[in-house]
Amino acid sequence: MKKLIVLSLLVCMGLPVLNAQDSLNAPDSVREEGFVFATIKENPITSVKDQNRSSTCWSFSSLGFFESELLRLGKGEYDLAEMFLVHKTMEDRAEASIRLHGDISFSPGGSFYDAVYCLKNYGIVPQELMPGNLYGDTLPNHGELDRVAEGYVNALAKGNLKKLTPVWKNGLSAIYDTYIGECPETFTYRGQSYTPQTFAASLGLDMDDYVSLTSFTHHPLHSQFAIEIQDNWRWGMSYNLTLDELMSVIRYAIDKGYTVAWGADVSEPGFTRDGIGVVVDPDKTPADLTGSDMNRWVKMKREEKIDKLLAKPCDEIEITPEIRQTGFDNWETTDDHGMLIYGIAQDQNGKPYFMVKNSWGTKSKYKGTWYVTEAFVAYKTINILVHKDAVPANIRKALGIK
């Protein structure tokens, strides 16, 4: 089997589109030049954030998801503190790594389950209480923090010490306190006094209502298992669905007004900084190069073929469970990035795309939104986090979710 390559679409058009019909009726001159998107369904989200130079997408996407849940439930708009979640999670990850002498990696990555665990056990605080930029930058810049914390933890985990002092946790906390701020123990917000735990309780989100779903063939169907990725160091469990079921959950959730926390691989060329991802076959000949032009196609370099294929909407490779599993088994599909799926759009040819809120700021083509094809999502998803009511009844029944 040829190795599949995820390739980015070159975005050439920035024209606003008000509805699907306008898009479908676009003149041929417009339709041929680039990509025109029409929103079909869009669920409420909070503003796009910028994780900047930090490996904290999991925190931004998780809390963005719960902020959207609060909007869905009519509880108003909240901006929750990503760095509170980072602080608590890294302390726990350090302890796990040290207990196992470094056999659990210590790195700044995380999973959706880290957010669920934190809200359930430690609570959360508003962003204004812990903005997390004590070193002068207006946006996260964790290069130095990550190196300092990693050096500290590895010195303890792999230092062949006879025993640890009772204050090592204080030293680690001091590192995170210094760079991103202390976690408040009590605070006042909107005229009310809280602890992080009572503030989380006031939001009215039951963490037991949220489920992680995935689709792989190396575990039994409809069972729960811990996805074998390094950032799932808490061994959070996910329900295993068929690929068709997983995709149907995402579509159903969006249709019913829910958003979907999406963990995926975006490291291949297909996920650009300009807002589009697609799965194509670079060996496929475009229709306008068949016949007499075939010789030119054969002589093209791979990059030239990619440019030609992606000059306008194109066909994609069909993603099967086998292709998906091979990508995961070969380390081609890894847990690169966490985002938020919040809507569905279609291009000028009527092809559907998921609308994705990213955490790379608003300077991209679509102001922080990515348009990702169903094939890309089917191929590159590690797992999703959704409210259990966003799962169709027949699938909940098969999983034993009440």
Q: Looking at the predicted structure, is the pLDDT value of residue 240 above 60?
A: yes
Are the beta carbons of 88 and 59 closer than 8 angstroms?
no
Position 132 scores a pLDDT of 92
Is 305 part of any domain?
Answer: no
Q: Looking at the predicted structure, is the pLDDT value of residue 15 above 90?
A: no
Is 304 part of any domain?
Answer: no
Are the beta carbons of 65 and 111 closer than 8 angstroms?
no
Q: Count structural domains, the chain.
A: 1
Are the beta carbons of 192 and 370 closer than 8 angstroms?
no
* Cβ-proximal residues to 272 (8 Å cutoff; 6+ apart), any chain: 8, 9, 11
Q: Extract the tokens encoding 142.
A: 């964790």
pLDDT in tens, 351-396: 999 999 999 999 999 999 999 999 999 999 999 999 999 999 999 9
Residue-number span of the structural domain to which 113 is assigned = 5-281+317-399
Three-state secondary structure of 374-393: HHHHHHHEEEEEEEHHHCCH
Output 365 or 300, whichever has higher pLDDT: 365
- Split at pLDDT 50, 70, 90, the class of 287 is low
CB atoms within 10 A of CB 73: 12
pLDDT in tens, 199-222: 999 999 999 999 999 999 999 999
Residue 300 to residue 239: CA distance in whole angstroms: 45
CATH code at 395?
A: 3.90.70.10
Position 288 scores a pLDDT of 58
Is 311 part of any domain?
Answer: no
Is 290 part of any domain?
Answer: no
* Cβ-proximal residues to 267 (8 Å cutoff; 6+ apart), any chain: 334, 336
Is 131 part of any domain?
Answer: yes
Position 135 scores a pLDDT of 81
Residue 351 to residue 76: CA distance in whole angstroms: 33
Is 372 part of any domain?
Answer: yes
Residue 364 to residue 274: CA distance in whole angstroms: 5
Is 393 part of any domain?
Answer: yes
Q: Mean pLDDT for the chain? A: 88
Q: What is the mean pLDDT of residues 156-163?
A: 93
Is 287 part of any domain?
Answer: no
% of the chain exceeding 70 in pLDDT: 83
Position 106 scores a pLDDT of 96
Position 273 scores a pLDDT of 78
